[in-house]
Amino acid sequence: MAVEFMGESVPYRTRRFDVIEARVRIRGRDITKPFIRHNDIVLVIPITDSGKIVLARSYRPELRRYVLELPSGTLKSRESPARGAARELLEETGFVAGKMSHILSGYPMLGYSDAKYHFFKATSLKGGEQKLENDEDIKVVKVSRKYLLKLIASNKLDDVNIAIALQHIDKK
């Protein structure tokens, strides 16, 4: 039996996302399905010429602590993923990529959000100055792939997006 989309409402808006209540008919029953509408997100795995991976050590209020994560952020209206990845890399790390390669896109939070994640690999990095937003506190950290694999193996990696990116960086 087909699913019929019947409309949606926006009961709550924030500066970063909207909460949507979609009304659908599934197997003859009308239901309301809430989800978060969010612009697409870019994530960058920057790699130095010496093979170090550049990460952001960011304070995350939702966890009440600092975590290591990929430089990432929300796409602006009508911004391409490649342009957004270059912008976020510069803002959060101060680096400009001589080469930026798209490695993977997909929806990591199906059932909760419509945000599509776009992963990029950045190489031939040139240093510059961070351009942090007002709500960011980020320190640039350079680590080895071996170190990250140890974090993954010991279940101590907070940003699982790093593990996803590591699986794909050699493909491009």
109-156 tens-digit pLDDT? 999 999 999 999 999 999 888 998 888 889 999 999 999 999 999 999
Considering the domain architecture, whether residues 163 and 142 belong to the same structural domain is answered as: yes
Residue 108 · residue 116 · CB < 8 Å: no
Considering the domain architecture, whether residues 32 and 91 belong to the same structural domain is answered as: no
Considering the domain architecture, whether residues 64 and 29 belong to the same structural domain is answered as: no
Considering the domain architecture, whether residues 59 and 27 belong to the same structural domain is answered as: no
12-68 tens-digit pLDDT? 999 889 999 999 999 999 999 999 999 999 999 999 999 999 999 999 999 999 999
The total number of structural domains in the chain stands at: 2
Considering the domain architecture, whether residues 96 and 84 belong to the same structural domain is answered as: yes
Q: pTM for the complete prediction?
A: 0.92
Considering the domain architecture, whether residues 91 and 124 belong to the same structural domain is answered as: yes
* Amino acid (1-letter code) at residue 113: S
User: Would you name the residues annotated as active-site residues?
Assistant: 136
Q: Read off the pLDDT band of 100 (50, 70, 90).
A: very high
Q: Which residues contact 92 (CB under 8 A, 6 or more apart)?
A: 56, 58, 71, 72, 73, 130, 132, 136, 138, 140
Give the structural domain span for 144: 41-171
